[in-house]
Chain A
């Protein structure tokens, strides 16, 4: 069983940690980077898969070299075996779409795993798009808002309980073939129902921190050439999102306007698809081989 967790570093938004320049821009260099809090749940899902089905856990992130520590943190909490940082100056300022293209290319470079886990939304961009977009690029079945997971290795299936519309009150059970892409909800609860699984978990936890100290031994850093993406499609140049201005209000984390589209409304959906189409064909080309 091979699982991959996509994780991301975000500025530490806790009181007193964030730094802005005089123009109100976030000073990333002066603001410490921490793991996107929601990714902790994706790591828990990967750890559960590792404990219950054995095998390998990889963690991947895209971002500046400073994200290494985020990967170390991830390694400790999911008992990961190998870490990948996709890092390139060309990729700076990528939006979720460009990130998704790059990540999907990197995943293909890695070899598509049985399960890919992503956290629900990041604390800085707060769009919740990167996961689904990456999944789309990989053409995998996707389960979102997963709160519980069960993998049937023999049958090659994954079953999940998920929140319908992200609402705690409504839970449904869905099933799909592996490989699959799972966006893990903050309400996710790992489940260990046998003593053997609990003992394995206890043993992993006991050594995880110490093991993660030598994370650099298992870390691979890739640039755009390593993952075969055209620099034109990534980074700021490849990012269709234009940020006009961001208010310097660190708490709550920056919010962007979201337009809710009713998927049943033919006209609205068409408008969205039309807007996306040019990038979609590029994505296929970028992530293709």
Chain B
């Protein structure tokens, strides 16, 4: 093989997973190069987002970056509620207990601010051991030797780089994990889609409306019939001077219901329950979206291949614990464990054992049990059968079921607060829609406010986003433009919609030989790089080159 530039370690991606991996490698004195495709770390990233520091976690973000909470976070979450919604009836549970379980602390974050702060820390740390962090560089594949073994990475912007270890922390649509054959993008049932609006609001107004002091914060979760039959839920988190309001839905459900993600977000934003918090002066700072893996289904048990160790969303390590979404914390833990595993394996003179040691650490530290809870597979085989769901749902909505819900009354709040149950709830309509709806109908009280919120149109939302378009070089190519193969993207794409000409995916009616054909066309200009159409359409999907594409200011 030809001579290449060499670093001992290359980390791809500067989200929480990559930052933790790089910081840990640097602590071990290892020469580490970090490659991030965004113009700045965080400019490509979206989360809800509450970052948790779990008591049981071997490594938390403030272990690695002691000033994290002060410098990179918004508000700590001091209140935690779940609202069961049926029409204008709402039954609210205080889920403080579920939230506090195993929680050292949990802070709301905005990713541009958080990740760019991490970026500067990581650059400083890795510079000291002969490396550093580069932005605007997109890894486009794995560098392989003549024997086919992984040797490093290739990028759009630089000559190939060799490394003794490559840590892929490149997020949900990881091109490296796919290149290594560890992940495919086939089954919508394995993913969620998250959509979020950051809403401008002065700190005093937030304190006022949520009854908080400066250093307190609230988290509100929403489930029930406000999203029709789409399986998923909504959230509202308080930042310092903004709110994060968003939704997370099972992608297969979005596709099956042909639901428009931006309309589901609007259903939440305009629900009368939210009027008390959002008020009349709705100002949206940013609209964003991203796929989210469901660890219960995709977390890799052996997230490595040769010199490649995969961490965070790239390895499917994103845990939906009932309404609680834990991705960032696990990415941090996994990043640190992967780095540790490499350093220790190398110390023993067997660097090629790093991958297996990393997987072992994930198991022994209890991370794998959280990502893939033992009980879930059992629940799944019984509870996720369609016929079971039908029976359970009709039972719940029957007189008997309703009586049961009434009888349980306050105990329901306790059941909902059980972390063990939350970890294994079956992925069906029942916990997301049917049960919360029945709870609200039977126990709920009527909301009297009316909403005056007028969310921007999709066109306005796209118009507010910043793009550096790579003209003439689209990063996604439609392989099959038939409606059957790729039509699902027209609704599922968060910046496309049926009958909307300004989005990425559009329906085209083409007349050929007297009969009409339904085709799909794609314009990647408004793309927010969420990854959805990599799964639901027949595409050749890549990220744009370094620095190109959408630039999120909030995340």
Contact = CB atoms under 8 A, between A and B. Distances in A.
Interface of A: 192-196, 198-199, 202-203
B208 interface: no
B137 to A, nearest CB: 7
B137 A198 contact: yes
A193 B33 CA distance: 15
A113 to B, nearest CB: 28
A194 B132 contact: no
Interface in B102-140: 127, 131-132, 134, 137
Contacts of A203: 127, 132
Interface of B: 5, 7, 33, 35, 127, 131-132, 134, 137, 157-159, 161
Q: List the 10 closest A-B pairs by CB distance, nearest first.
A: A199-B132, A193-B159, A194-B5, A198-B134, A195-B33, A193-B158, A195-B158, A195-B161, A194-B159, A195-B5
A198 B158 CA distance: 9
Nearest to B33: A195
20 contacts: A193-B157, A193-B158, A194-B5, A194-B158, A194-B159, A195-B5, A195-B7, A195-B33, A195-B35, A195-B137, A195-B158, A195-B161, A196-B5, A198-B137, A198-B158, A199-B127, A199-B131, A202-B132, A203-B127, A203-B132
Contacts of B159: 193-194
A196 B127 CA distance: 11
A193 B35 CA distance: 14
A195 B157 CA distance: 9
A194 B137 CA distance: 11
Interface of A is mostly: helix
A178 to B, nearest CB: 24
Nearest to B123: A202
Contacts of B137: 195, 198
Interface-central residue, B33, B158, B159, by most chain A CB under 10 Å: B158
Contacts of B132: 199, 202-203
Contacts of A199: 33, 127, 131-132, 134
Nearest to A196: B5
B153 to A, nearest CB: 10
Given A195-B134, A199-B132, 10 more contacts: A192-B158, A193-B157, A193-B159, A194-B5, A194-B159, A195-B33, A195-B35, A195-B158, A198-B137, A202-B132
A1 B193 CA distance: 54
Nearest to B126: A199
A193 B134 CA distance: 12
Interface-central residue, A192, A194, A196, A203, by most chain B CB under 10 Å: A196
A198 B33 CA distance: 11
A202 B157 CA distance: 15
A192 to B, nearest CB: 8
A199 B129 CA distance: 13
Contacts of B161: 195
Nearest to A195: B33
A152 to B, nearest CB: 16
A195 B161 CA distance: 8
A199 B7 CA distance: 13
A173 B137 CA distance: 27
Interface-central residue, B35, B134, B137, by most chain A CB under 10 Å: B134
Contacts of A202: 132, 134
B129 to A, nearest CB: 12
B31 to A, nearest CB: 11
Contacts of B7: 195
Nearest to A201: B134
A193 B137 CA distance: 11
A63 to B, nearest CB: 36
A202 B5 CA distance: 18
B26 to A, nearest CB: 14
A192 B131 CA distance: 16
A158 B33 CA distance: 30
A194 B158 CA distance: 5
Contacts of B35: 195
B543 to A, nearest CB: 19
Contacts of A195: 5, 7, 33, 35, 134, 137, 158, 161
A223 to B, nearest CB: 44
Contacts of B5: 194-196
Contacts of A196: 5
B165 to A, nearest CB: 15
A128 B494 CA distance: 52
Contacts of A192: 158
Interface-central residue, A194, A195, A202, A203, by most chain B CB under 10 Å: A195
A171 B134 CA distance: 31
Contacts of B131: 199
A46 B35 CA distance: 26
A199 B132 CA distance: 7
A195 B136 CA distance: 11
A240 to B, nearest CB: 47
A87 to B, nearest CB: 40
B139 to A, nearest CB: 11
B472 to A, nearest CB: 16
Contacts of A198: 134, 137, 158
A193 to B, nearest CB: 5
A195 B134 CA distance: 8
Interface-central residue, B7, B132, B137, by most chain A CB under 10 Å: B132
A199 B131 CA distance: 8
A195 B137 CA distance: 9
A78 to B, nearest CB: 21
A196 B158 CA distance: 10
Contacts of B158: 192-195, 198
B88 to A, nearest CB: 55
A203 B159 CA distance: 20
A193 B160 CA distance: 9
A202 B34 CA distance: 13
A146 to B, nearest CB: 21
B548 to A, nearest CB: 16
A91 to B, nearest CB: 44
Interface-central residue, A193, A194, A199, by most chain B CB under 10 Å: A199
B138 to A, nearest CB: 13
A201 to B, nearest CB: 9
A195 B132 CA distance: 9
A194 B35 CA distance: 12
A233 to B, nearest CB: 49
Interface-central residue, A193, A194, A198, by most chain B CB under 10 Å: A198
